[in-house]
């Protein structure tokens, strides 16, 4: 385990040309399996479960979920039983991500999309808790108050490592961004890069709603009360490249080229979308000269295994993870 995670300055001609400094907080290097924001989010959830004598942990995720992958290993390491409620059909049990989860002794329960939509419904959660009274239920993506507490520690580390103006992070479920806002206490500009489209809206709702309204509400709902007054953050929603896990061959190649130029591995679902957003913003002159930017690398490199398995990416330069265990 590597804490505090390293902070590296990225040397690149684009940044030199625009006279800005770009650094990267390498949370992907915290742990070889429980990397990035997943380690931060699970730290206090695991601690809470053990302290309160829980018999296991239950959580939710898609068939290629970084959260499910990390939770399975974390519970295996701590000798805590765990159950993953997975959106999709049982044949996914043999895919790259879930093969590893089963290898680490996670039990899987596959549900249809209608049932999965109830994952935050109070009645559904009460029924689940009654079925597993001695288990801790952790939300999808691990985003809860315990996760926020873990993520705030990134700011403590950064303030010891560098002076900076802006912090960038990819945004999925909103927990990481909420933790950064809470920990930062209005010291720096914080920009979240949305990696998925907002939910379906009618044309009138699109007109009436503010940009990023849905994700912003999600983030605000996760903030501790004292952090709700902070106004130093925003979410940019035009860099999702078509939606969750969507990207073009050109997008893929831009990320690969940057990986090769810098020696830092970004994947195209989370960290890569943040990277491409930064490159576009710099090209547009969004940041003034002498601006100091930190990108937060939230890990998720295991996801490359699933992308390769589905032929969404080819083995043409990506740093692919170890082959999944056989059933």
The percent of residues above 90 in pLDDT, for the chain, comes to 86
- For residue 324, the model assigns a pLDDT of 86
Rg, the chain, Cα only: 19
- CA atoms lying within 13 Å on the CB side of residue 135: 21
CATH architecture for the domain at 36-142: 3-Layer(aba) Sandwich (3.40)
**pLDDT surpasses 90 at 313:** yes
CATH fit for domain 7-30+145-309, picks 3.60.9.10, 2.30.30.240, 3.40.50.1100, 1.10.1060.10? 3.40.50.1100
Query: For 248-274, what is each residue's pLDDT tens digit?
Result: 989 999 999 999 999 999 999 999 999
- The answer on pLDDT for 203 being more than 90 is no
Is residue 95 within 8 A of residue 64, CB to CB? The reply is yes
Q: Give long-range contacts, CB 8 A cutoff, 24+ apart: 216-224.
A: 218/173, 218/174, 219/171, 219/174, 219/177, 219/178, 219/181, 219/192, 220/178, 222/143, 222/144, 222/145, 222/148, 222/174, 222/175, 222/178, 223/148, 223/178, 223/181, 223/182, 224/145, 224/148, 224/182
Residue-wise pLDDT tens digits, 281-297:
999 999 999 999 999 99
Residue intervals of the chain classified under CATH 3.40.50.1100 are 7-30+145-309, 36-142
Please indicate, yes or no, whether the overall pTM of this predicted structure exceeds 0.95. Answer: no
pLDDT at 198: 65
175/223 Cα distance (integer angstroms): 9
What integer is the mean pLDDT of 68-90?
Answer: 97
């Amino acid at each position: 385990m590597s804490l505090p995670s390293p902070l590296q300055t990225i040397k690149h001609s684009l940044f030199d040309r625009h006279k800005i400094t770009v650094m990267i907080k390498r949370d992907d290097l915290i742990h070889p399996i429980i990397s990035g924001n997943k380690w931060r989010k699970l730290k206090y959830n695991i601690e809470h479960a053990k302290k309160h004598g829980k018999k296991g942990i239950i959580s939710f995720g898609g068939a290629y979920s970084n959260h499910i992958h990390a939770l399975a290993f974390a519970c295996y390491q701590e000798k805590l039983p765990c159950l993953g409620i997975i959106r999709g059909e049982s044949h996914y049990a043999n895919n790259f991500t879930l093969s590893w989860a089963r290898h680490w002794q996670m039990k899987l329960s596959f549900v249809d999309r209608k049932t999965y939509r109830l994952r935050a419904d109070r009645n559904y959660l009460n029924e689940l808790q009654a079925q597993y009274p001695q288990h801790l239920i952790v939300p999808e993506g691990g985003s809860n108050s315990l996760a926020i507490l873990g993520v705030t520690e990134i700011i403590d580390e950064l303030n010891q490592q560098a002076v900076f103006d802006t912090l960038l992070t990819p945004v999925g479920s909103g927990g990481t961004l909420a933790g950064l806002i809470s920990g930062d206490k209005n010291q720096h500009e914080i920009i979240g890069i949305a990696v998925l489209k907002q939910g379906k809206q009618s044309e009138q709702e699109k007109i009436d709603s503010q940009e990023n309204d849905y994700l912003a509400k999600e983030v605000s709902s996760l903030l501790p009360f004292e952090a709700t007054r902070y106004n130093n953050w925003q979410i940019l929603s035009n860099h999702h490249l078509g939606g969750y896990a969507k990207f073009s061959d050109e997008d893929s190649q831009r990320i690969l080229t940057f990986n090769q130029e810098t020696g830092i591995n970004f994947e195209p679902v989370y960290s890569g979308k943040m990277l491409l957003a930064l490159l576009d913003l710099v090209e547009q002159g969004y940041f003034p000269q002498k601006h100091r930017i930190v990108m937060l690398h939230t890990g998720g490199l295991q996801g490359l295994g699933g992308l390769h398995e589905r032929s969404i990416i080819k083995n043409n330069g990506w740093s692919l993870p170890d082959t999944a265990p056989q059933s």
